[in-house]
């Protein structure tokens, strides 16, 4: 590779960086919107909101949109649709989130999040709500 080629590539590359960044932000936004819509087909976000309040998730988590959910024991659940991992363990997919909510101890034995006995249909509703948090 010649020096002039490298220089050229660099200056051209630099020019593309801002549009690349803008492009990936758009793609990310589109993907997380898509995740919320896909999640809404597999669970009911409004019912999930009710279940989050009923199971007292807010005693340990701050959850936007849930009254009095301001707990600080676990991580805040804001922007959940944009997270890469669940509890630093599982890739953040709908099925993995349902699994975590149903039985965090089977995913990560000894985690400070207790098994709360959330049945699968409610765990799906809760997951659908969490994916509305962009």
Q: Interface with ligand HEC by CB under 6 A: which residues? A: 52, 55-57, 59-61, 73-75, 77, 86-88, 100-101, 108, 111-114, 116, 118, 126
Least distance CB 73 / ligand HEC (angstroms) = 5
**Considering beta carbons, is residue 7 or 105 the nearer one to ligand HEC?**
105
Encode 46-64: b = buried (16+ Cβ within 10 Å), e = exposed: ebbbebbeebebbebbbbe
**Considering beta carbons, is residue 6 or 70 the nearer one to ligand HEC?**
70
- Going by C-beta distance under 8 Å and a sequence separation of 6 or more, which residues neighbour residue 43? 98, 121, 124, 125, 126, 127, 128, 129
**Considering beta carbons, is residue 39 or 101 the nearer one to ligand HEC?**
101
Least distance CB 9 / ligand HEC (angstroms) = 39
Q: Is 8 helix (H, G, I), strand (E, B) or coil?
A: helix
Least distance CB 124 / ligand HEC (angstroms) = 11
Q: Which residue has the tokens 């669970």?
A: 43
């Amino acid at each position: 590779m010649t020096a002039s080629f490298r220089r050229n590539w660099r200056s051209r590359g630099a020019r593309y960086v801002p549009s690349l960044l803008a492009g990936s932000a758009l793609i990310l936004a589109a993907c997380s919107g898509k995740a919320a819509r896909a999640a809404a087909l597999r669970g009911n976000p409004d019912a999930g909101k009710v279940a989050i309040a009923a199971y007292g998730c807010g005693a340990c988590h701050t959850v936007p949109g849930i009254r009095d959910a301001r707990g600080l024991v676990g991580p805040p659940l804001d922007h959940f649709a944009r997270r890469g991992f669940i509890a630093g363990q599982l890739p953040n997919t709908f099925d993995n989130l349902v699994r975590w909510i149903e039985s965090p101890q089977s995913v990560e034995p000894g985690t400070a999040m207790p098994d709360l006995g959330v049945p699968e249909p409610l765990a799906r509703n809760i997951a659908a709500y969490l994916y509305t948090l962009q």
